[in-house]
Amino acid sequence: MELHARGLAAGLCLGAALLGQAYAADKPPVKIGVLTDMSGTYAGMGGPGSVAAAQLAIDDCLAAECKGMKIELVSADNQNKADVGAAKAREWFDRDGVTAIADLTNSAVALAVQGIAREKNKVVMFSGPATTALTNKECSPVGFHWMFDTYSQSAGGAKATVKAGGKSWYFITVDYAFGHSLEADTAKAVKALGGTVVGSVRHPLNAPDFASYLLQAQSSKAQVVALANGGQDTVNAVKQAREFGIVAGGQRLVSLLIFLSDLRALGLESAQGLSYVDGFYWDYDDATRQWSARFEKAFRGLKPTMTQAGVYSSVLHYLRAVAASGSTDGKVVADKMRALPIKDPIMRNASIRPDGRVIHDMYLYEVKKPSESKGGWDYSKLVATIPASEAFQPLADSTCPLVQK
């Protein structure tokens, strides 16, 4: 009897192993590359945290739809340089067998990699860059803009600020594709709402000193000083704006793109009262809190930014599409990604449009006063929800060749 039981158990184990092998056999190996800013101005909002988020997505898919699949994760620093990012993307696609790239962080890098991915028929998913060109004239059938863009950041922020009396605007803008796009989209929204733009000034990426730019903003007498930059540039600009008395002098300071990592670097004393638009906040509901607790445990005790949350969402959806299609061919997987519903703890009311823009609800937040915070990561309070249908550029206005008019 004992020998029979052992034999039956061994047979069951062997059967399970063979079944697992057969289950995985129809699903090809996958290699995902996270191409991000590992040490520069955007490292806090993307960087190593994006790699950790991608690994969480892999773990979750392996426990479900991707069970038995071989999935490898690699990462590299794009150094916020388009040539560096492009060279790494080509190397990954041509030599290393990477099947998809995620994050990107920098708009100039993203635009360069978008063209290469289109040429190589490889899926690329943008969670960190903001330029709307990725889903307009530079769109791709295998490219997906996942979390936010300059339109989503400008629409809600401009509307709320103009409504509150901020009619005249002055921009302090980082001088490359991301900043140009963010300023242009916001200026368009401000003018459409009856406001005016009295001037702007541009600064280089990684600018340590904003004194001359802030003095020009002060002398403009604009009611709103808008920061069209991100990462450490935003942190430096906000800190120095407080020192120059921008807010104390009666001007309103608006950050058009700020991340949880930036708020942590600033502290509530410096950041209090800032209005900003976000696609993900860790304390939004039970689902975001539970996922953020997992991320925090996996990554240095830090809560995730919306870029890192977007990496998780995009990588998970990509893996589900590979599992469902049984292919890593770029077009096949991209078509399946568009067909599958997006279901995860990150985004609400999400779907993918023909131009590659992933639309979902966005949120207008305000940074709390120190007296309002319950401590720890309690930085912001929800002011309003911007529905998915309103948060992003209307499809009818897209210049993407994939969109049929």
3-class SS string, 306-342: HHHHHHHHHHHHHHHHHHHHCCCCHHHHHHHHHHCCC
Q: What is the pTM of this model?
A: 0.89
Residues of the chain with CATH 3.40.50.2300: 30-148+284-360, 151-278+362-386
| CATH class, 151-278+362-386 region | alpha beta
CATH number of 30-148+284-360: 3.40.50.2300
Q: Output the CA torsion sign for 32, 38, 44, 48.
A: positive
**What confidence score (pLDDT) does residue 25 get?**
58
Q: d(Cα 361, Cα 197) in Å, to the nearest integer?
A: 28
Residues in the chain: 405
Written as six digits, the tokens of 352 are: 């993918």
Written as six digits, the tokens of 335 are: 């078509």
**What confidence score (pLDDT) does residue 381 get?**
95
CB contact at 8 A, 67 and 315: no
CB contact at 8 A, 322 and 30: yes
**What confidence score (pLDDT) does residue 34 get?**
98
pLDDT along the chain (405 residues), means of 10: 47 45 69 97 95 98 97 97 98 98 95 98 96 95 96 84 91 94 93 96 96 97 95 94 90 92 93 90 98 98 98 98 98 98 97 97 92 95 91 94 84
**What confidence score (pLDDT) does residue 22 get?**
45
**What confidence score (pLDDT) does residue 247 get?**
85
